[in-house]
Amino acid sequence: MTEISQFIQLKVAETLGVKAEEVNPDEEFMSLGLDSMHAIFLLDEIEKEYKIEINPHQFWEFPTINAFSQNLKKELAKS
């Protein structure tokens, strides 16, 4: 698991009020219990941490922690 994946997993866990180990990074965000309000909060946290602007649609285009973090890694490499 990458540093980005771990960060996102931790933030998802904090949002859901569970331990990070309980959050499956291959499970879709919606299945984990995240809704659009959670997504906005999560994106804000990621943008602050990595100093990048993220299109909110990416949350649904890359619907798991691992998929989202792989895409974010690519975006960060471009900037």
Dist CA 23 CA 25 (whole Å): 6
Under 8 Å between Cβ of 17 and 28 = no
Q: What pLDDT sits at residue 1?
A: 80
Whether the predicted model's global pTM rises above the 0.85 cut: yes
SS (H, E, C) 13-49: HHHHCCCHHHCCCCCEHHHHCCCHHHHHHHHHHHHHH
pLDDT per residue as tens digits for the range 42-76: 999 999 999 999 999 999 999 999 999 999 999 99
pLDDT per residue as tens digits for the range 5-35: 999 999 999 999 999 999 999 999 999 999 9
Does the pLDDT at position 79 exceed 90? no
Dist CA 46 CA 6 (whole Å): 12
Q: What pLDDT sits at residue 25?
A: 97
59 burial level (CB within 10 Å; 0-12, 13-18, 19+): buried
